[in-house]
Structure 1
Amino acid sequence: MTNPRSLSSVENDPQSGFTLLEILVVLAILALLIGLVAPAALRQLGGARVSVAKQSISRLGSVLDLYKLDVGTYPTTEEGLAALIHKPADAQNWNGPYLKDVNEPKDPWNHPYTYQAPSSRDGHDYDLCSAGARGTGTTNPGQSGAICNP
């Protein structure tokens, strides 16, 4: 049997608890772990946004193909991706809206996609691009950091 007096004396002992050195060691270990893990997590986040942009461009490409099946041509550069939401004046067999959202789609960095038809590249009907993380200026398929339809 344990002595009840010895248990209560431990609870009231002013020497029990953590020392300042022990707390500092734990904080140093936590800081080291955060310093190692945070950059890797941020790199993964950046890679995920690029992957989402590529998937979104592919999905929008499928929607543009549906538009072409209905109307007969891809939207012009002037009509842009808004033609997928609002009927252009000269579109005869438009069966839209082709997108649920009432706003033009934006990339994972919250920048609008750029659309150009006809394409400036050989073998493509249109150019659909995201400027990527930079999101500045016009987006050309050859521009560094641009993510475009394959």
Structure 2
Amino acid sequence: MQRRRQSSARRLGFTLLEILIVLAIIGVIAAMAVPRLLGQQKAAYAKQTKINIAELEKTAELWAVGNQGTFPETVQVLMQKGADGTEPLLDKIPSDAWQTPLNYEYPNTKANTSRPAIWSSGENRQNENGGGDDVTNWKDLAATK
């Protein structure tokens, strides 16, 4: 009778080998999943930055409507009260998904258009004037010449 209790008691836990096998399987699954998730995060940051650029562009358009169709020369103009006392359109310079302020240029020397050039310094946070990993509105502007 005692023998039966010992053998059933031994079967209640997991062996070290079983635990190591489960940990190895979890490690293999994690090794496959993590790079995919990081790639999706990078794409999500670029997409969010494009949205932030579009919002700044719309704000500049709104300012231009009240200023004879001329865009502001700097983004700081959007943070000032209007000549008629209207509130500023922006509280601060918008940032990209990497928390770096967006770059704004008008007149635009980056693309052949009368609209402002707006770009992010990208993941490396280095302003490469639209090159490197910078996220820009160039392609969008090419369609609206």
Question: TM-score, normalised to structure 2's length?
Answer: 0.80
Which ranges of structure 1 fall in alignment gaps of 5 or more residues?
A: none
1:84 to 62, 78, 87: 78
2:71 to 71, 74, 78: 74
Deviation string for 1:4-57 (max 9, x for gaps)?
x99xx4798245310000000000000001000000000000001111111111
Which ranges of structure 2 fall in alignment gaps of 5 or more residues?
A: 141-145
- Deviation at residue 93 of structure 1 after TM alignment: 4.5
What secondary structure, in the 3-state scheme, does the structure 2 residue paired with 1:13 have?
helix
- Deviation at residue 123 of structure 1 after TM alignment: 1.5
Verify the 8 A CA contact 1:67 1:94 in the aligned structure 2. Answer: no
Matched residue count:
135
Q: Which residue of 1 is the match for residue 86 of structure 2? A: 95
Q: Which residue of 1 is the match for residue 143 of structure 2? A: none
Decide whether aligned partners of structure 1 residues 94 and 33 sit closer, same or farther in structure 2, where only a CA change above 3 A counts.
Answer: farther
What secondary structure, in the 3-state scheme, does the structure 2 residue paired with 1:71 have?
coil
> Which residue identity does 1:114 align to in structure 2?
N
Between the aligned partners of 2:34 and 2:13, the Cα distance in structure 1 is 31
- Deviation at residue 113 of structure 1 after TM alignment: 0.7
**Which stretches of structure 1, 4 residues or more, deviate above 4 A after TM superposition?**
none
> Which residue identity does 1:83 align to in structure 2?
V
What secondary structure, in the 3-state scheme, does the structure 1 residue paired with 2:9 have?
coil
Give me the CA root mean square deviation: 2.5
- Does residue 60 in structure 1 map to residue 48 in structure 2? no
Between the aligned partners of 1:118 and 1:94, the Cα distance in structure 2 is 26
- Deviation at residue 94 of structure 1 after TM alignment: 6.4
Give the percent of matched residue pairs that are identical in Structure 1 and Structure 2.
27
